[in-house]
Amino acid sequence: MRIFLTGATGFIGAALVPELIKAGHHVIGMTRSDAGAQALSKAGAEVHHGSLEEPDTLRSGAAKADGVIHTAFDHDFSRFMENCEKDKRAIAALGAALKGSDRPLVITSGTGMGSGSHGELASEDVFNASHPNPRIASELAGHELLEQGVNVSVVRLPQVHDPLKQGLITPLVAVAREKGVSAYVGDGLNRWPAGHVSDAARLYRLALEKAAPGARYHAVGEEGISSRAIAESLGRGLKLPVVSISAEEAAAHFGWLGMFVGLDMPASSALTQTRLNWHPTGPTLIADLDQARFV
């Protein structure tokens, strides 16, 4: 298949390009920079110049493909709500090029969108159109396309990691350096799910190949790692003291990360593993953090 991949030079996209090519697919990778174009060419992908801010470039990329995987997202979390709305518009543009066909579109969301009651594992079968997290905009855009006959499925991401990057934990490192402590909120028992980047890349490929309209998948290798365990690992790597702070102090200490650090967000991938015969094999989050070089 000819696969149009947005975010092709990003953290997940860079792992997905070789995953798709190895499986026999032809990758059309979107990039906005000359450096990105060089990297894609070197990896064996066709280059497509475009960006999330230019819907026409998204439509034209999708129009020449047999399937689309959308991993691009603006990760400036200080403008999170605005960027979620931008993603909604990008998904609509991609879907416009696929209407009237069976060509699959795999979009990206977060495992938190599958959360139920407090403390329950987020599930693939949960879809809450009124979810308070702004990232629900991506799934709402996908759901609208699904109702219009577009073959849309969703990969929901936890904290995706390797020894170089670890989702929201990467900016936590910067906060710890700035503050001189590695902190967690309260008792630190709130949990974040995690998945290795190689497992996430394989899941996107399988989701595309399955092409099941309306399906939702969780790229979860570990259902929940406590924020205290994460802080302790960062403390070891950065050689900083590990401290607890109150929920009232979180916004001042963590900045924009304050909206996330105290959340309990465990998630399951049991249905994903059954439905796609996908089984995570990558290293654990703490293993990758302990291998990270924070110097």
Tens of pLDDT along the chain (295 residues) come to: 999 999 999 999 999 999 999 999 999 999 999 999 999 999 999 999 999 999 999 999 999 999 999 999 998 888 889 999 999 999 999 999 999 999 999 999 999 999 876 678 999 999 999 888 999 999 999 999 999 999 999 999 999 999 999 999 999 999 999 999 999 999 999 999 999 999 999 999 999 999 999 999 999 999 999 999 999 999 999 999 999 999 999 999 999 999 899 999 999 999 999 999 999 999 999 999 999 877 5
Q: What is the pLDDT of residue 195?
A: 98
In 3D, which of 86, 88, 215, 108 has the Cα closest to residue 158? 108
pLDDT recorded at residue 116:
72
From CA 76, how far away is CA 83, in angstroms rounded?
A: 8
Q: Which pLDDT score is estimated for 294? A: 72
DSSP state of 258: G
| Alpha-carbon gap, residue 187 to 94, rounded angstroms | 43
pLDDT of residue 210: 97
Domains of the chain: 2-160+195-222 (3.40.50.720), 161-193+224-265+284-291 (3.90.25)
- What torsion do the CA atoms of 200, 104, 86, 54 make, to the nearest 10 degrees? 110
**CB burial string 6-28: b at 16+ within 10 A, e below:** bbbbbbbbbbbbebbeeeebebb
pLDDT the model gives residue 275: 97
CA–CA separation, 12 and 20 (whole Å):
12
